[in-house]
């Protein structure tokens, strides 16, 4: 924080003491405590409060009111003192002090190895530690270097911002008419994030104004678009063009990228030195092959292609699927439809989070905006809450005596805790409970956040069907046991073609070998999820085994990937290389270790079927690594892991 910013913030904070005190009543106690320690260097009160903090979420502490009041008083006094004295902003605490503060703030031991990661993530100091800078002046060699980025969603935005910062010429190709990617395309009722928002945001574009702890789609889309606009991305984005294929040209070491314009269907070929895909894993809807689905007479659409022209009010609606999209859609439409039949093939686990439906109190928003360092410490709390805490409990204990239903003691306790919660939500309806509790261990499929799903199932106008669908007719869904559900509309909450990564683009590398030749429909592999032998100068974000399922935010992963890709591009530019290609042995060794790590994780459990793995039980989509592991793996690009060819050719890109 620059000195003047700090002083302006401190002056703003103390201008109206009554307002400051009212705001502090609504802000979270642990982040306030951390700010107090940072401002004063005094730890005595923190040590007194620490035993009352039992976890990183704000609902996990039992700090007595009188103690909270002392924290607030001390913070007001510290802010007033800074305002009156004009003293410089306090330095970032040293690593040992940070570790103690962090551990006290979350009521858990924060390992020293997390401190460098957290400093980046929180941005306590003004420097942007994730920015990649040149080691020597790239000079004129940048002029004829060009990067094409496919997609202007969450990953494409950070990719573009970092390329722009480095001065690397680039263009983003986006099939839609606006930025936002998945948050633009998904408009189904109830669409929201289920990672806490003060963490689910870019580290370099904090947003203190989230109105909810888990915001709805419109607010997230506005944030993404605002971030893109503020950072001057629109002139670099070509909207309304879909990449259909990309071919590597061995002679020039460049990629020839074919695009189709949505306005007139016309086609063009662009050329670039490096190609970065930012198309996500969850972009192409999966439409199940159900006999007769095309013959249904009423509206039938996928959650990610929501047809807002259809009024569901008073209609008999079928919803197929019970994943994250269904979890948000179902309870949102149930109150208005005449009848909702939920078709569950296998149940999901779902956790309750008391903040999930809450708005952020206005005083808290004010405090986050106004009090120096508070939003950084808030981010830390939520990072830790959503971080690696559960990772160890998601690994198989080979000696565990109930391996079908859980992995180990901690996982079994979680199972029992969730079952108790669901039983309560279902008012003790044991028949329904038996249908909605999975037989596989918790976290086997993506862990959902309960959006009042179980209460929805208790509504008189909602029914849960757990049989197998046989066919769809013009006006009904027929089950294998002969049951017939007459419906007016069908919602397909059936997920995405996640394993068929980069589809439907045809991407051909050396010798014309395509990504599909290599990966088939469901077996993608890459080094760190980003680089593929035989595909020089191609970088994949959110590629194989980079989805997060134990915690974290996909934005965190994107920032790790983008830094690594920028370092790779720096290597190309500074070295004047035509090509940069991951070594086959490096790729293979990584995948061997990765597969072994995956096999121990809950997502590989034989009782689980999910989009995380292919039908040979190999995890293809999801990462087995802790956030710390992946951060370490991607922090420093290792040139020795790549082969290069010299003498770059200019890309005659349009
Ligand atoms: O898709 P899913 P999703 N007959 O694949 C069922 C992210 N996301 O769109 O479990 C009957 O999870 C299928 O059944 P089964 C998030 O990463 C995030 O809900 O395979 N049923 C399953 O129930 C998420 O994980 C948010 O037995 C069929 C459902 O369809 C990912 O997107 C919100 C079937 C598909 O569930 C995908 O979630 C929304 C068939 N033939 C999405 N085929 C946030 O909160 C499939 N199913 C941030």
Q: Among candidates 630, 149, 559, 68, which has minimal Cα distance to 391? A: 630
Domains 140-284+498-646 and 293-349+405-438+442-492 share a fold: yes
Please tell me the predicted confidence (pLDDT) of residue 651. 62
Per residue in 572-630, pLDDT (tens digit) is 999 999 999 999 999 999 999 999 999 999 999 999 999 999 989 999 999 999 999 99
* Residue 372 CB less than 6 A away from ligand 1: no
Task: Return the pLDDT at 29.
Answer: 98
The reported pLDDT for the residue numbered 647 is 77
Largest Cα span, the chain: 80
Which residues of the chain fall below pLDDT 70?
1-3, 648-654
DSSP 154: H
Cα 500 to ligand 1 centre (Å):
15
pLDDT tens sequence across 307-331: 999 999 999 999 999 999 999 999 9
CA 52/CA 44 separation, integer angstroms: 14
| Top-level class of domain 293-349+405-438+442-492 | alpha beta
Please, which residues have CB within 8 angstroms of residue 414's CB and are 6 or more apart in sequence?
A: 393, 406, 442, 443
- Which three-class secondary structure state does DSSP give residue 358? coil
| Helix, strand, coil percentages in the chain from 3-state DSSP, rounded to 5 | 40, 15, 45
For position 2, what pLDDT does the model report? 55
Q: What does the block give as tokens for 524?
A: 């993608």
**What is the rounded CA–CA span in Å between residue 322 and residue 345?**
8
Ligand 1 site, residue 495, Cβ cutoff 6 A: yes
- CATH code of 140-284+498-646, in short, is 3.50.50.60
Q: How far does residue 151's CA lie from ligand 1's centre (Å)?
A: 23
Q: Which one of 324, 436, 619 would you pick to mutate in the ligand 1 pocket, going by the greatest count of ligand atoms within 8 A of its CB?
A: 324
Is the distance from the beta carbon of residue 320 to the nearest atom of ligand 1 less than 6 Å?
yes
Ligand 1 centroid to 445 CA: how many Å? 9
Measure CA of the first residue to CA of the last residue in the chain; give whole Å.
Answer: 40
Every domain of the chain and the residues it spans: 3-110+364-388, 140-284+498-646, 293-349+405-438+442-492
| DSSP string for residues in 530-573 | TB-TT-TTEEETT-TT-B--SS--HHHHHHHHHHHHHHHHHHHH
Question: Residue with the nearest Cα to atom 48 of ligand 1?
Answer: 193
pLDDT value of residue 399: 96
Strands 538-540 and 274-277: parallel
Distance CA 642, CA 250 (A): 17
Cα 270 to the chain's mean position, in Å? 30
State the DSSP H helix or E strand holding residue 81, giving kind and residue range, or none if neither. Answer: helix 65-85
Report the distance separating Cα 248 and Cα 536, nearest Å: 8
Give the per-residue pLDDT at 396: 95
Counting atoms of ligand 1 from 1, which one is nearest the CA of 303? 9
Please answer whether residues 254 and 273 qualify as being in contact, where contact means their C-beta atoms are separated by less than 8 angstroms: yes
The string of DSSP codes covering 83-126 is HHH-PPPPPPPPHHHHHHHHHHHHTSPPPGGGHHHHHHHHT-SS
The dihedral through the CA atoms of 607, 609, 614, 618 has a sign that is negative
């Amino acid at each position: 924080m620059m000195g003047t910013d700090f002083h302006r913030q401190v002056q703003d904070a103390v201008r109206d003491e009554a307002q400051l005190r009212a705001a502090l009543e609504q802000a979270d106690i642990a982040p306030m405590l951390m700010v107090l320690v940072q401002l004063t260097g005094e730890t005595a009160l923190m040590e007194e409060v620490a035993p009352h903090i039992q976890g990183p979420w704000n609902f996990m502490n039992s700090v007595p009111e009188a103690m909270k009041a002392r924290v607030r008083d001390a913070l007001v006094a510290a802010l007033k003192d800074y305002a009156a004295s004009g003293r410089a902003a306090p330095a970032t605490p040293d690593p040992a002090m940070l570790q103690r503060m962090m551990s006290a703030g979350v009521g858990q031991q924060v390992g020293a190895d997390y401190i460098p990661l957290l400093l980046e993530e929180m941005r306590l100091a003004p420097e942007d530690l994730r920015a990649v800078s040149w080691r020597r002046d790239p000079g004129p060699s940048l002029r004829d270097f060009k990067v094409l980025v496919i997609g202007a969603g969450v990953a494409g935005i950070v990719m573009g911002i970092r390329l722009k910062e480095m001065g690397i010429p680039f263009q983003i190709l986006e099939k839609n008419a606006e930025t936002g990617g998945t948050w633009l395309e998904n408009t189904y009722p109830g669409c929201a994030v289920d990672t806490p928002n003060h963490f689910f945001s870019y580290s370099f574009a904090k947003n203190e104004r989230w109105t909810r702890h888990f915001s709805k789609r419109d607010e997230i889309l506005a944030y993404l678009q605002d971030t893109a606009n503020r950072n001057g991305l629109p002139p670099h984005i070509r909207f309304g063009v879909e990449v259909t294929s990309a071919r590597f040209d061995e002679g020039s070491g460049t990629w020839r990228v074919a695009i189709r314009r949505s306005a007139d269907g016309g086609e063009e070929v662009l050329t670039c030195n490096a190609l970065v895909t930012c198309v996500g894993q969850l972009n192409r809807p999966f439409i199940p092959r159900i006999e007769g689905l095309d013959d249904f007479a009423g509206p039938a659409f996928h959650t990610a292609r929501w047809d807002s022209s259809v009024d569901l009010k008073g209609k008999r609606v079928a919803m197929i699927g019970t994943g994250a999209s269904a979890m948000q859609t179902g309870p949102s439409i149930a109150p208005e439809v005449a009848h909702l039949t939920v078709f569950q093939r296998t149940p999901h686990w779902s956790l309750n989070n008391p903040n999930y439906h809450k708005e952020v109190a206005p005083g808290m928003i004010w405090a986050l905006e106004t009090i120096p360092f508070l939003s950084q410490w808030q981010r830390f709390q939520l990072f830790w809450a959503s971080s690696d805490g559960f990772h160890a409990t998601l690994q198989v204990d080979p000696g565990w005596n109930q391996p079908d239903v859980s992995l180990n003691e901690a996982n079994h306790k979680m199972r029992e805790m969730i079952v108790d919660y669901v039983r309560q939500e279902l008012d003790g309806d044991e028949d329904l409970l038996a249908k909605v509790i999975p037989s596989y261990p918790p976290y086997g499929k993506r862990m959902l956040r309960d959006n009042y799903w179980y209460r929805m199932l208790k509504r008189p106008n909602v029914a849960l069907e757990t049989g197998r669908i046989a066919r769809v007719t013009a006006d009904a869904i027929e089950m294998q046991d002969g049951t017939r559900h007459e419906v007016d509309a069908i919602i397909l909450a059936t997920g995405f073609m996640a394993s068929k990564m980069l589809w439907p683009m045809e991407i051909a590398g050396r010798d014309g070998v395509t990504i599909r030749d290599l990966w088939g429909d469901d077996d993608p592999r890459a080094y760190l999820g980003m680089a593929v032998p035989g595909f020089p100068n191609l970088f994949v974000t959110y590629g194989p085994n980079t989805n997060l399922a134990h915690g974290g935010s996909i934005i965190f992963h994107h920032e790790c990937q983008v830094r690594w890709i920028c370092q790779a591009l720096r290597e190309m530019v500074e070295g004047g290389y035509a090509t940069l290609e991951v070594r086959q042995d490096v790729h293979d060794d990584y995948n061997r270790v990765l597969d072994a790590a995956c096999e121990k994780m809950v997502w590989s459990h034989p009782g689980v079927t999910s989009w995380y793995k292919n039908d040979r039980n190999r995890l293809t989509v999801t990462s087995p690594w802790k956030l710390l592991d992946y951060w370490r793996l991607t922090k420093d690009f290792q040139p020795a892991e790549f082969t290069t060819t010299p003498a770059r050719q200019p890309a005659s890109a349009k």
